[in-house]
Amino acid sequence: MYINRVLVRRGLDEIVLATHLFRPLRFTLYLQPWHWFRRNQDPAGVRLRLVLEDLGPIFVKFGQILSTRKDLLPEEYARELARLQDKVPPFPGEQAVAIIEKSFGKPIGDVFAVFDVQPFASASIAQVHAARLPDGTEVIVKVVRPGIEKTIKRDISLMKTIAEWAERYTAIARRLHVCEVVCDFEKTLYDELDMVREASSASQLKRNFAGSKLLYVPEVYWAYTRKRVMVMERISGIPVGNIDALRAAGIDLRLLAENGVEVFFTQVFSHNFFHADMHPGNIFVGPDGRYIAIDFGIMGSLRDVDQRYLAENFHAFFRRDYRRVAELHVESDWVPKDTRVDEFEAAIRTVCEPIFERPLREISFGHLLVNLFQTARRFDMEVQPQLVLLQKTLLNIEGLGRQLYPELDLWVTAKPFLERWMLDRVGPKAFFKAVVRNTPYWVEKLPELPGMIHDFLNESRNTEAREEQRRLDVEKLSRELRRSNRLTFRAVTGSTLILSAVLILVMHTGQFTSLSGVPVPTLLLGGLGALILIFSWS
């Protein structure tokens, strides 16, 4: 009932009645009193955003994730949903204290020397408090919201019901694969509830960038981390979206933008483990000009084959080799194997060729990926979750880079990195790396090699012997079958002749007594004896 009131208040009942199922009832819209007073309604995308904000934090978060699916959503909806702000009132600090004490099994005074009950950041899944460890280290404490599992279960159940209903009755919902999007969202939410998982991701990312001049990741304090509580080093930096503060601090914005691109491609292609939620709220800039990342709830990785095909796709696209782009999509199983490459090539050319009429620096990598996915959708491309996360991250990084330095040429910045990566993967260097990587395994197996060769040769001989015996058995069986067939034929033929003779006799004489003085039973016994003799000779 509450959702219905929100829909009516924001004018989305008009959208519902415009669907194929309810279009015959659209006239009822004009009979509703509240419709008479509507004037100059906002566009549908704005109304959808307002509805999600009214419905609460889980719906807001869903709208945020949905806004990244530019390969599915019309531009006006994606643009509006991207404006959703995760403004969630904090829960009482006393509840956070209770969760911490339950997690550690001791009073909070025994865990932290100082704990600020007032949170300084709050989101839909968790909120953050400042604290100090017993040794004096300043930290932040991330605490999962109480009762959030129940809220997620309720809201996701409702979303699934709405999505199933929408896909059943509207073509646009089927095209947008809303049920699939809701299921992906559910998995993301439950992953974010586990603070140990997030801490593990942060630790892995920190190791990957150890000693780097590009990115700093705060330290995780594992002794103070539990499933619902995570403790990390407290960092200080300038929010990356505060351009004026960055300039005042003497930060080179062009270098910062280019470093952001390198951070992205390093994560995706060198480490194969990337921060998939790099919006401005999660990125800071330290005094030394390095990026500082926080919030590691959503991370992504690619299969080796996806890495290679993705890099080759970028190269082929900028060479305008659309046939190769189409072939790569088929080879990678992103589209069905029976896809006609020539038709797919023509579709890609139609979408992508106009991009090259603009200066290269104006070409968006993120929107290129969106265009490719939109085109591939028409050829039954299956949703690739890892590629969707990559697309979302690339759009974030690209938008961030252009905000810092509007003249950023993403292709010029990324091209050398991609070329080096491909050379490392497919060139002579890659061959020697593979040899070095596999040498310990080969050395370990070397003493076993003579025995393995001996076993192989023995198995080969045994196989040949088994094959010969199998051939002899088949020949013997074949002979037996032929002999059996001959006996059967003779039996049927002899019996048929005897019975025919008897029938002719009976029909001719009308008697079943004798033939030329010989009783018929005697004839039958004689014929049967003859048959037995015939079979015994064969």
Output the CA–CA distances (angstroms, integers) from residue 94 to 87, 97, 99, 125, 146, in the order listed. Answer: 21, 5, 9, 17, 11
Lay out the sheet containing 291-293: strands in order across: 215-216, 291-293, 283-285, 238-239
> Which strand (E) or helix (H) includes residue 128?
strand 126-132
The two structure tokens encoding residue 141: 């404490």
Classify residue 213 by burial, with Cβ atoms within 10 Å: 0-12, 13-18, 19+: exposed
277 carries an active-site annotation: yes
In terms of residues, how long is the chain? 538
- Grouping H, G, I as helix, E, B as strand and the rest as coil, residue 215 is strand
Output the CA–CA distances (angstroms, integers) from residue 73 to 82, 300, 323, 374, 389, in the order listed. Answer: 12, 22, 27, 10, 16
Rounding to the nearest 10 degrees, give the CA dihedral for residues 291, 219, 205, 100: -120
Is the four-CA dihedral 106, 107, 113, 119 of positive or negative sign?
A: positive
- Grouping H, G, I as helix, E, B as strand and the rest as coil, residue 308 is helix
Cα(217)–Cα(205) distance, integer angstroms = 7
Is the four-CA dihedral 404, 280, 200, 264 of positive or negative sign?
A: negative
Among candidate residues 499, 504, 507, the one with its CA nearest the CA of residue 527:
499
Q: Are strands 215-216 and 291-293 parallel, antiparallel or unpaired?
A: parallel
Cα(118)–Cα(21) distance, integer angstroms = 50
In this structure, are residues 170 and 179 in contact, taking their beta carbons and an 8 Å threshold? no
Tokens 């699934």, residue? 160
Tokens 């790569």, residue? 328
**Amino acid sitting at position 349:** R
Tokens 């006799």, residue? 505
In this structure, are residues 177 and 383 in contact, taking their beta carbons and an 8 Å threshold? yes
Cα(538)–Cα(130) distance, integer angstroms = 103
The two structure tokens encoding residue 56: 């609460």
Cα(237)–Cα(243) distance, integer angstroms = 13
In this structure, are residues 307 and 273 in contact, taking their beta carbons and an 8 Å threshold? no
Query: Of the residues 13, 277, 295, 306, which is catalytic?
Result: 277
* Residues with catalytic function: 277
